[in-house]
Structure 1
Amino acid sequence: MLRIAVAGDDVVLHPSGAALLATHKTLLIADAHFGKAVSFRKLGVPVPSGTTSETLATLDKALADTGAERIVFLGDFLHSRRSHAKGTLATITEWRERNMRLEITLVRGNHDDRAGDPPAELGIRVVDEPLALGPFALCHHPKPREGAYVMAGHWHPCISVGGRAFERLRLPCFWFGDDSGALPDNAVGVLPAFGSFTGMHRIEPRAGDRIFPVAEDVVRAIPQLPIA
């Protein structure tokens, strides 16, 4: 894990793609997309099974490593209405029953609008963005908001590293815009997608951005682009 400062608060970056707001003991999870694989299979696309269990196992490790007491999902909890499949919801319900001590909030994203809210029996508070917490505005969409540093998902960010084009490797990354006040429009942080069956989109860092790729279960820092 890697501890950094964002908007004056301690943020711990976990190699799963989760981020702990240490002061608030809150684990941020972006783009879990539970039930994406079953959604594809119902459309006749042959994709792997067991992705929900895999994602929940990763979540268990992130909780154990960070000691978080609450979770905020930054949108796209369920992938689609087809994600309400009996098997998918049974796996999530079993996990929830083992973790009833946790306070869980979902900030609705674009996929949640289509999928609908999680079943009430999961005991998940569901809100629209933004959700205020300390200096942060917790959102799904990475858009600046006046007076707060936005923590969001949606983009599934990654960077390309390596040599020649055919040898380059794509790595999921945390992407934090400048929070010094020099570039207020960049005061947005984007977490990598957490789900085990999600795509990635390559980003173009801007001056003042901080990028933290995840490689081999290690979060690394790369040099910050200077502000002109």
Structure 2
Amino acid sequence: MLRISLAGEEAVLHPSGAMFLPEHHTLLVADAHVGKAVSYRKLGVPVPEATTGATLQALTDALVQTGARRLVFLGDFLHSARSHAPATLAALDGWRDRHATIELTLVRGNHDDRAGDPPARLGIRAVDEPLSLGPFALRHHPEPVGGAYVLAGHWHPCISIRGRAFERLRLPCFWLGDDSGELPPRAVGVLPAFGSFTGMHRIEPGAGDRIFPVAEGVVRALPALPVA
């Protein structure tokens, strides 16, 4: 895990793609897309098995390793209406039973509009964006909010880095816009997609942006581009 300063507070970047805010005992997760694989299989597309289990295990690991008391999903918790498949919901029920004391909140995203809110028995409070938390505005869509630093998802950001023998690696990354001064328009941070079966979108960092790629279970910092 990598500890940084963000909007005047400490933030912990977890190699799963989650962000922990210690002052609020809160873990943030973007784009879990639970039930995406079963949604594809129902359409006849061959996809990997056990992706929901892998995502839920990663959630458990991040909660245990950070000691978070609250978990906020930054949109796209369920992938589609087909994610309400019995086996997927049974896995969610079992996971919730094991984490009954954790407060769960969903900031609705575009996939949540189609999938619908999670079943009430999971005890997940679903709200529209933005959700205020200290100096932060928690959203799904990475769009500015006046007077707050936005933390969002939606874009599934990754960075392209040159590896050995001229190969290029695509690594998921935290993309944190400039948080200096009076919270400029680029005061928006985007978390990598958390789900084990999600795509990635290559980003083009701007001046003042901080990029933290995740590779082999380690979060690293890249040099920020200078501000003109």
Q: TM-score, length-normalised on structure 1?
A: 0.98
> Corresponding residue for 2:227?
227
1:161 aligns to 2:150 (yes or no)? no
Letter in 1 for 2:190: V
Question: Helix, strand or coil for the counterpart of 1:185?
Answer: coil
2:127 aligns with 127
Kindly provide the CA deviation profile for residues 73-111 of structure 1, in whole angstroms up to 9, marking residues without a partner as x.
Answer: 000000000000000010011100111100000000000
Q: Secondary structure at the match of 1:184?
A: coil
Matched, 1:191 2:191: yes
Task: Name the Cα RMSD after superposition.
Answer: 1.3
Offset at residue 182 of structure 1 (A): 6.5
Write the distance in 1 (CA, Å) between the matches of 2:114 and 2:103. Answer: 24
Mapping of residues 1-228 of structure 1, within 5 Å: 1-162=1-162, 167-181=167-181, 184-228=184-228
CA distance in structure 2 between the partners assigned to 1:109 and 1:21 by the alignment: 21
Q: CA distance change for structure 1 residues 183 and 126 in 2, over 3 Å: closer, same or farther?
A: closer
Distance 1:144 1:158 in 2: 20
Q: Could you tell me how far 1:49 is from its partner in structure 2?
A: 1.1
Tell me the distance in 2 between the aligned counterparts of 1:165 and 1:43.
Answer: 39
Amino acid at match of 1:93: D
TM score, norm. by length of structure 2:
0.98
Unaligned runs of 5+ residues in structure 2 are: none
My pick for the range that moved more, 111-120 or 176-185, is 176-185
Q: Distance in 1 between matches of 2:177 and 2:145?
A: 13
C-alpha offsets along residues 123-181 of structure 1, whole Å, 9 cap, x if unaligned? 00000000000000000000011010000000000000115997101000000000113
